[in-house]
Amino acid sequence: METTLSLGDKSGVADARRRAMHMAQSVGLSEKSQADVALIVTEAATNILKYAGHGEISLKSASEDGANRLDVFALDRGPGIGNLGAACSDGFSTGGSLGAGLGTIARHSTLFDVCSIAGSGTALFARVGEGAVAQRSPFLVGTRATPKLGQTVSGDAWAVRHAGDSMWLTLIDGLGHGPLAAEASRRAVDVFMASDPSGSPADMLRNVHLGIKGTRGAVMAIAKLDPVNFMLSFAGVGNIIAIVHGGETSQHLLSTDGTVGYNMRVVRHTEARWVPGSVFIATTDGLSTRWNLNRHPGLTSRHPSLIASVLHRDFARDVDDATVVVVKAL
Give the CATH number of the domain where residue 158 resides: 3.60.40.10
Last residue of a domain, one of 110, 131, 152: 131
Give yes or no: residues 122 and 58 share one domain: yes
Give yes or no: residues 212 and 296 share one domain: yes
Which pLDDT value is given to residue 95? 46
Last residue of a domain, one of 72, 96, 131: 131
Q: Which residues, in sequence order, are bridge partners of residue 72?
A: 59, 126
DSSP label at residue 260 = B
Give yes or no: residues 249 and 186 share one domain: yes
Last residue of a domain, one of 131, 151, 178: 131
Give yes or no: residues 99 and 215 share one domain: no
Give yes or no: residues 191 and 288 share one domain: yes
Give yes or no: residues 315 and 232 share one domain: yes
Give yes or no: residues 220 and 144 share one domain: yes
Which pLDDT value is given to residue 84? 67
Give yes or no: residues 171 and 37 share one domain: no
Task: Give, in degrees to the nearest 5, the angle at Cα 181 between 177 and 184.
Answer: 170
Give the CATH number of the domain where residue 33 resides: 3.30.565.10
Give yes or no: residues 71 and 167 share one domain: no
The strand ranges marked E within 132-228 are 139-146, 156-163, 166-174, 218-226
Give yes or no: residues 123 and 241 share one domain: no
Per-residue pLDDT of the chain (330 residues; tens, 9 = 90+): 899 999 999 999 999 999 999 999 999 999 999 999 999 999 999 999 998 999 999 999 998 878 999 999 999 999 988 766 656 765 555 444 444 579 999 999 999 999 998 888 999 999 999 987 656 789 999 999 999 999 999 999 999 999 999 999 999 999 999 999 999 999 999 999 999 999 999 999 999 999 999 999 999 999 999 999 999 999 999 999 999 999 878 999 999 999 999 999 899 999 999 999 999 999 999 999 889 888 888 999 999 999 999 999 999 999 999 999 999 999
Distances (CA, A) of 255 to 146, 201, 239: 23, 12, 7
User: Of 83, 74, 75, whose CA–CA distance to 118 is shortest?
Assistant: 83
pTM, entire model: 0.93
Q: Helix, strand, coil % (nearest 5) of the chain?
A: 30, 35, 35
CA distance 313 to 307: 10
Which residues span the domain enclosing 235?
A: 139-329
Give yes or no: residues 112 and 157 share one domain: no
Which pLDDT value is given to residue 75? 98
Number of domains in the chain: 2
Give yes or no: residues 175 and 296 share one domain: yes
- In degrees and rounded to multiples of 5, residue 233 shows phi and psi of -110, 140
For 28-37, the CB contacts below 8 A with 24+ separation are: 28/63, 28/68, 28/130, 29/68, 29/69, 29/70, 29/128, 29/130, 30/130, 33/70, 33/128, 33/129, 33/130, 36/108, 36/109, 36/128, 37/70, 37/72, 37/128
Non-local (6+) Cβ contacts of 110 within 8 A are 69, 127, 128, 129
